[in-house]
Amino acid sequence: MPAELPSKMRAVMFVAQGQAAFQDEDVPACKPGHVLCQSIYTGLTNGTERNCLVGGNYGGWKWPSRCGYQNVGRVLEAGEGVKSCAVGDLIFSGDFCQHRQYFAAPAGPENLLVKLPAAVDPKEAALFGVASVALHDVRRAEVKLGEKVLVVGAGPVGQFTAQAARIAGASVTVCDLDAKRLAVAGQLGAHRTIGLKRDDNWGEVLSAGPFDAVFEDSGAPVLDKIIGANWGKGVLRPRSRVVMIAGRDRVEYAFNAAQGYELCIYHAGHFNSDDLRQVCRLAAEGVLKAGPIIQDVVKIEQALGVYERLRDRPDSLFGTVFDWQ
């Protein structure tokens, strides 16, 4: 460990249901195949972290717990065998290093770590995790040139899903309750945006279809709208695909309606190393954009207030980046 580093560091922990706190932890050692980094920015993973914070299906009702897989840091030490980066480089790691002042990340060719090129703003790179999740899901659904795609939910994952589907060549419609988020989706290239009302106006979504693929990124109980409550009457083409991304415990849908479509329902896990490399490349080329999605850049000292908002008013948050500098 570099001699100038302290022995202790600040980190965020969920210490009880709905309660985040700072705690002091030991600065990690740099093992072979790893890099030791000082955090520059970390990105909030809204849905996953709220799920763990309040006791959803990811957290398993166990505390203390924590999450976070969007770490941008400066390399302080490179362990034996590391070839992808060197001391002084800025890197992004998606290997669940959590919100910590220093982190040690695996740096092999198949690990979720990339060296950030000069063309990438490190603050925007703090959302590369959710961007890579979205790209992974679009690739998992094998979205093709000329297909019609619906994205339900214009949060950070939905925004990147819409961009990735457009990059794949699809015609993209995004629907959400929030007009400001829909405006961002339009700014980022969605071909059509539809403002939903809480009392139901799915007729406009129906008229925009039928869709070859639907990405349900909201976590809302909308599968009867997408698939249909009985035979048909959803927004899909025959033999289409529905991808459910937002975390949830159990899923119910009308079997008759899904059978009528001969529907494929896709599940996708965490992103892989190539998803991350492609996100980094597309961002460097200016094709995939994170800047308009970032709503709050918050000094880490103010992070606990963000977690109170995440617990009580999750809709008040959009893209959030913690600044550790």
Domain identity same for 151 and 243: yes
Domain identity same for 134 and 258: yes
Length of the chain: 325
Q: Is there a domain that residue 76 lies in?
A: yes
pTM of structure:
0.95
CATH code for the domain in which residue 213 is found: 3.40.50.720
Q: Is there a domain that residue 3 lies in?
A: no
| Helix-helix angle 179-187:156-167, to 10 degrees | 30
Domain identity same for 253 and 142: yes
Strand ranges in 29-167 using DSSP code E only, listed in sequence order: 34-43, 71-78, 90-93, 102-106, 113-115, 148-152
Domain identity same for 137 and 239: yes
Q: Is there a domain that residue 2 lies in?
A: no
Q: Is there a domain that residue 156 lies in?
A: yes
Domain identity same for 259 and 301: no
Domain identity same for 175 and 109: no
Q: Is there a domain that residue 198 lies in?
A: yes
Domain identity same for 201 and 114: no
Domain identity same for 139 and 260: yes
Radius of gyration of the chain from its Cα atoms, rounded to whole angstroms: 20
Domain identity same for 240 and 149: yes
How many domains does the chain contain in total? 2
Helices (H), 30-143: 46-54, 122-125, 128-140
Domain identity same for 135 and 178: yes
Q: What is the pLDDT of residue 3?
A: 62
Per-position pLDDT tens, the chain of length 325: 566 888 899 999 999 999 999 999 999 999 999 999 999 999 999 999 998 999 877 766 788 988 999 999 999 999 999 999 999 999 999 999 999 999 999 999 999 999 999 999 999 999 999 999 999 999 999 999 999 999 999 999 999 999 999 999 999 999 999 999 999 999 999 999 999 987 677 899 999 999 999 999 998 889 999 999 888 789 999 999 999 887 777 888 999 999 999 999 998 889 999 999 999 999 999 999 999 999 999 999 999 999 999 999 999 999 999 999 9
Q: Is there a domain that residue 149 lies in?
A: yes
CATH code for the domain in which residue 17 is found: 3.90.180.10
Residue 317: give the domain boundaries.
Answer: 8-127+290-323
